[in-house]
Amino acid sequence: MPQPEQPPMRDGAQPIRADGLPGTLRWAVWLLGAEAAGLLGVVVFLIIADAGASGPSLQGGIVVTVYAALMATVLAGLSWALSRRKAWARGPAIVLQLLMLPIGYYMATGGVVLPGLVLIAVGLAGAGALLAPATRAALGIH
């Protein structure tokens, strides 16, 4: 039985797996999903902290909790959209990954070194995966 002819690969593009996503796009989807899950854990922690607060402290805590929940939803939505090859999701995802860099820097220089360095590494890895030629090709961006 003859093998179907493979389409030619672009310069630097990775082979596409059976799930239809190149490795770099799968990594970006996974990282965004992991970030959303981690932020959801922070939301749970904030809800517990809000339960013991009162007055202005409670109001401020609720605002931070709602913002964190909103960001977790946005990250999860971008992960879902990219897993379905929605090219529009790449831009906002890159911006969010790059915003992790100054946050991680200020965490690392402010005494929270290890989490800050992890944030920087994850932001760089996510932005790199989203900017990779294979990801661009899979999303139809030229």
Domain regions of the chain by residue span: 23-138
pLDDT at residue 1 tops 60: no
pLDDT at residue 18 tops 50: no
Long-range contacts of 125-131 (CB under 8 A, 24+ apart): 125/27, 125/31, 126/28, 126/31, 126/32, 126/35, 126/93, 126/97, 126/100, 127/94, 127/97, 127/98, 129/24, 129/25, 129/27, 129/28, 129/31, 130/24, 130/28, 130/90, 130/93, 130/94, 130/97, 131/94
User: Tens of pLDDT along 95-115?
Assistant: 999 999 999 999 999 999 999
* Per-residue pLDDT, 39: 95
Q: How confident is residue 9, by pLDDT bands cut at 50, 70 and 90?
A: low
* Per-residue pLDDT, 41: 96
